[in-house]
Amino acid sequence: MLDLEAGVGGGKVMADEKKPRFEVFEPEPMSREEADRKMEEFFKELEKEFKDVPPEEMKKGAERVLDFIKGKLTWAEIFNIPPQMLKQMAELGYLKYQAGRYDEAERFYKVLTVLDPKNSYFNTMLGFVLRALKRDHEALVQFSEAIKKHPIEVINYTARGEIYLKYGLINEAKVDFEVAATLDPKGEDKWANRARLCLKRIEELERIKKEEAEKKAKGEKKKKKR
């Protein structure tokens, strides 16, 4: 019998030619004293690692980590990635998108949504990339996230509404198209005008559906009279 040790959690694979099986062993409990000793050793190692770092730098670093945890800083700010670099990455991603290299564009925009999660544009572009990859449900999530971050951006309502419409969610689509149109009272935004065209199309489909239902109802009445 072959005995293979699994590194995480004390697991062990016991395999033979007939019935390979996986057995999980619970880690041995640690006493309070041993846990305290381990923590003390950890902090001593930490002190050695940062012994040459000035106290003011340590304090500044701790404050930045705390700000990140509270959502005040992004990953880009933590790693001091300049906004210009993020912009260049976004432009490269857009070029990939225009060239139809959607898999590559997806990688760019996924990274950007992590580096700067406050920027709704990255979610919007990732949504269009995913839609081009025919992953509509994932695209829907990204457009919704962009709306949450920037609720007055027309393009996200129209894009999300089109996905709703594609899957027959007429009421949800109408709400998004109406919001898009409302956000552009002068009729100057192309995405708002696109939403208006979609609303007209929905109205036309609803009218046709209503007429067909009325014809069907009349036909059934005639049959009953006979």
With both helix axes pointing from N to C terminus, report the angle between 190-225 and 154-166 in degrees, rounded to the nearest 10. Answer: 30
Cα(167)–Cα(75) distance, rounded to whole angstroms?
Answer: 36
Give the tokens for residue 224.
Answer: 């009953």
Residue 174 above 90 pLDDT? yes
CATH code linked to domain 119-225: 1.25.40.10
Task: Please give the average per-residue pLDDT across 192-211, as a whole number.
Answer: 92
For 98-166, give the DSSP string: HTT-HHHHHHHHHHHHHH-TT-HHHHHHHHHHHHHTT-HHHHHHHHHHHHHH-TT-HHHHHHHHHHHHH
Cα(124)–Cα(142) distance, rounded to whole angstroms?
Answer: 6
Domain range annotation of the chain = 46-80, 119-225
**128 neighbors 139 (Cβ within 8 angstroms):** yes
Cα(56)–Cα(62) distance, rounded to whole angstroms?
Answer: 10
What's the pLDDT tens digit per position in 60-84? 655 655 565 566 666 566 567 778 8
**159 neighbors 127 (Cβ within 8 angstroms):** yes
The structure tokens 């009279």 sit at 225
Position 152 scores a pLDDT of 96
Position 195 scores a pLDDT of 97
Cα(72)–Cα(64) distance, rounded to whole angstroms?
Answer: 9
Give the tokens for residue 107.
Answer: 């990688």
What's the pLDDT tens digit per position in 112-124? 998 888 899 999 9
Least confident residue range of 81-85, 151-155, 179-183: 81-85
- Higher pLDDT: 76 or 49? It is 49
Which residues are CB-neighbours of 184 under 8 A, at least 6 positions away? 154, 192, 193
- Higher pLDDT: 10 or 45? It is 45
Residue 26 above 60 pLDDT? no
Helices (H), 52-101: 55-69, 75-78, 83-98
Residue 125 above 60 pLDDT? yes
**158 neighbors 189 (Cβ within 8 angstroms):** no
Cα(116)–Cα(39) distance, rounded to whole angstroms?
Answer: 34
Q: Nearest to residue 191, comparing CAs of 144, 156, 223? A: 156
pLDDT more than 70, % of the chain: 69
Q: Up-side HSE of residue 60: CA atoms within 13 Å toward CB?
A: 6
Cα(151)–Cα(154) distance, rounded to whole angstroms?
Answer: 8
